[in-house]
């Protein structure tokens, strides 16, 4: 496995990889969820690139940029074991020249949900992902379902700016009790960690109600809310949106729905989501509905 940390080395290394390349973009602190993305990329493509870059521009004011877990040596071992060919590990100074002045910003899809609560977050994501796509030139980029809004925003960017690649969306990888894997789970106390299992139970509760024929978004949110009563955190939102546009869904409808929720434990925000109907929560369903 080759590890490069400059833009010039990245470009040179990419030239020798050929046509069939899968990319997994990460901020490091890797867990099984990231490795699941690498496995899919490995199965689909001759070569796999991973990037490890804690992108400062996607952290809103007061967020955890300086505390974000950084475990590069361990990350590299995990990527090597998973069969990655090339890893790009730039520094912020390499990615953002002191006089840089170009950003990429998506409109409506980036404005609600996380966009509303984390001002500037998606502008930071789309700008860095556009740069990383240009440098890695993948055939397919792999993203996790957990950050569903990120995928929808990136799909818009890929379509609007004609990036020649596919976005594959891989189901959320979960701990045994259902908690979605996240690099931020390490911030939870043991009590909060037990309560956090309620997030996935809330998604299942909404799915059961949906399977009973309920389509009213208020009733679906209510089912999730009841299951979250034991979570021990502060419920920030439970939302039902159109999975393609992210417009809020206010009345019953038959088309697929995206149910998202965020629970806050102190300063740690945990996200989770599912598509309804529940049988869409597999790679093919997620990619067709959220990806491109
Ligand atoms: O999902 C993430 O880890 C980040 O937002 C990404 C896509 C690597 C961009 O920094």
Query: Model confidence over 141-186: pLDDT tens digits?
Result: 999 999 999 999 999 999 999 999 999 999 999 999 999 999 999 9
For residue 136 and ligand 1, the question of a CB distance below 6 A is answered with: no
Q: Is the CB of 167 inside a 6 Å radius of any atom of ligand 1?
A: no
Taking the C-alpha atoms of residue 172 and residue 155, their distance in angstroms, rounded to an integer, is 18
Measured from the CB, is residue 147 less than 6 Å from ligand 1?
yes
Helix (H) / strand (E) element for 141: namely strand 140-144
**Catalytic option among 34, 45, 100, 121:** 34
Q: Which of 23, 55, 122, 153 best tests ligand 1's pocket when mutated (most atoms within 8 Å of CB)?
A: 55
Q: Is the CB of 129 under 6 A from ligand 1?
A: yes
Residue 3's beta-bridge partner residues?
87
Q: What are phi and psi of 241, to 5 degrees?
A: -130, 160
List the domain boundaries for the chain. Answer: 2-170, 183-278
Determine if the peptide bond prior to 277 is cis (ω within 30°).
Answer: yes
Fold classification of 183-278 (topology level): 3.30.1300
Q: Report the nearest-CA residue for atom 9 of ligand 1.
A: 125
Does 45 qualify as catalytic in the annotation? no
Dist. CA 212 → ligand 1 center (Å): 36
Dump pLDDT digits (tens) for 207-239. 999 999 999 999 999 999 999 999 999 999 999
The answer to whether 246 and 152 are in contact (CB under 8 A) is yes
- What is the pTM (predicted TM-score) of this model? 0.97
* 2-170 and 183-278, same CATH topology: no
Class of domain 2-170: alpha beta
- Ligand 1 touching residue 26 (CB < 6 A): yes
Query: Which residue numbers in the chain have pLDDT < 50?
Result: none
Report which ligand 1 atom has the smallest distance to the Cα of 147. Answer: 1
Q: What is the pLDDT of residue 122?
A: 98
């Amino acid at each position: 496995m080759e590890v490069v940390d400059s833009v010039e080395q990245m470009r040179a290394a990419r030239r020798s990889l050929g046509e069939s390349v899968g990319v997994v973009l990460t901020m490091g602190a890797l867990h099984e969820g990231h490795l699941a993305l690498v496995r899919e990329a490995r199965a689909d493509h001759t070569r796999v690139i991973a990037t490890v870059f804690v992108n400062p521009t996607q952290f809103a004011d007061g967020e955890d940029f300086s505390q974000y877990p950084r475990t590069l040596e361990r990350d590299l071992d995990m990527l090597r074991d998973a069969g990655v060919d090339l890893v790009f590990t730039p520094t912020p100074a390499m990615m953002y020249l002191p006089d840089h002045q170009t950003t990429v910003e998506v409109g409506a899809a980036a404005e609600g949900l996380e966009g509303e609560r984390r001002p500037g977050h998606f502008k930071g994501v789309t700008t860095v992902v556009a740069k990383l796509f240009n440098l890695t030139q993948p055939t397919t980029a792999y993203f996790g379902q957990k950050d569903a809004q990120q995928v929808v925003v990136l799909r818009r960017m890929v379509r609007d700016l004609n990036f020649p690649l596919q976005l594959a969306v891989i189901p959320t990888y979960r701990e045994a009790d259902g908690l979605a894997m996240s690099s931020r789970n390490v911030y939870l106390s043991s009590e909060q960690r037990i309560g956090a299992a309620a997030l996935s139970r809330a998604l299942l509760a909404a799915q059961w109600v949906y399977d009973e024929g309920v389509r009213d978004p208020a009733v679906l949110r209510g089912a999730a809310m009841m299951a979250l009563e034991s979570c021990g955190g502060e419920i920030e939102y439970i939302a039902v949106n159109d999975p393609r546009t992210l417009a809020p869904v206010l009345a019953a409808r038959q088309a697929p729905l995206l149910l998202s929720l965020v629970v806050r434990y102190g300063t740690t925000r945990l996200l989770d989501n599912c598509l309804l109907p529940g049988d869409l929560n597999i790679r093919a369903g997620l990619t067709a509905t959220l990806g491109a």
